[in-house]
Amino acid sequence: NHKAFIFDLDGVIVDTAKFHFLAWRKLANDLGFDFTEEQNEQLKGVSRVDSLKKILEWGNMELSEEEFQRQMAMKNENYLSYVDKMDASEILPGVEKILDYLTEQQVPYALGSASKNARPILKKIDLYHRFDAIVDGTDVSKAKPDPEVFLIAADKLNAQPKECVVFEDSVAGVQAANIGKMTSVGIGEKNVLGEADYVFPDFTEIDLKFIDKLLNN
């Protein structure tokens, strides 16, 4: 039986994926090239360092270590200018209903995000206090699709991996959940997240019966 839930942050609880895209795209444009929204799918769930490596490959560019660090810092500053304006109204539709239900059923849940900005974002949207555990990019050494972030979260929730359900919007994150032997629920398009055990377009399409089903088997 499933007895613990793990939520990704960007693209699952809030749509910060759009801010990451804008900030990475500005970086690429400033360096003299562009990339598509389709390519951007490959950046979702991927750490800041690995994202910049991919983008530079797309632009056929190499940067010195110092310049690489400077570009990452600038991207983050630009990203945070969007985050700064966020409040609880940015929580994606349907998310709070699920959190409320899990709380009511006394089912523990954690955040499992690749982002180093996860804690400040949770505070901004007023959900920080609601999670039984928070594991983010500052706590891990291996990025998704490595399952480390979710395995630490499962451990903090005192659950075995197979007892955990992971909600993810990214290919890398779904793979991480699967490699970790957890049940994966993709939030997004089926043609992108086909590797997930279940896929829903968004949380408004997930009803409490589905949560009950997961809790009962």
Residue nearest to Mg ion (CB): 11
Task: Report the C-alpha gap between 198 and 187 in whole angstroms.
Answer: 9
Q: Is 34 a catalytic residue?
A: no
Nearer to ligand B16, 42 or 215 (CB): 42
Tell me the three state secondary structure of residue 63.
Answer: coil
Q: Is 10 a catalytic residue?
A: yes
> Taking Cα atoms as reference points, which of 111, 41, 52 lies closest to residue 79?
52
51 binds, among Mg ion, ligand B16, none (CB under 5 to 8 A by kind): ligand B16
2 binds, among Mg ion, ligand B16, none (CB under 5 to 8 A by kind): none
**Identified binder of ligand B16 from the candidate list 4, 6, 11, 199, rule CB under 6 A:** 11
Tell me the three state secondary structure of residue 32.
Answer: coil
* CB neighbour burial string for 140-179, b if at least 16 within 10 angstroms, e if fewer: beebbbbbbbbbbbbebbebebeebbbbbbbbbbbbbbbb
Structure tokens at 78: 């630009």
Indicate whether 9 belongs to the interface with ligand B16 (CB under 6 A): yes
Structure tokens at 178: 């699967």
Indicate whether 8 belongs to the interface with Mg ion (CB under 5 A): yes
Q: What is the sign, positive or negative, of the torsion defined by CA atoms of 44, 24, 9, 212? A: negative
Shortest Cβ 177–ligand B16 spacing (Å):
11
Nearer to ligand B16, 130 or 215 (CB): 130
**Identified binder of ligand B16 from the candidate list 113, 178, 183, 184, rule CB under 6 A:** 113
Give contact residues for ligand B16 (rule: CB under 6 A).
Answer: 8-11, 17, 20, 43-48, 51, 76, 113-117, 137, 170
Q: Which residues are annotated as a binding site for Mg(2+)?
A: 8, 10, 168-169
**Active-site annotation, residues:** 8, 10
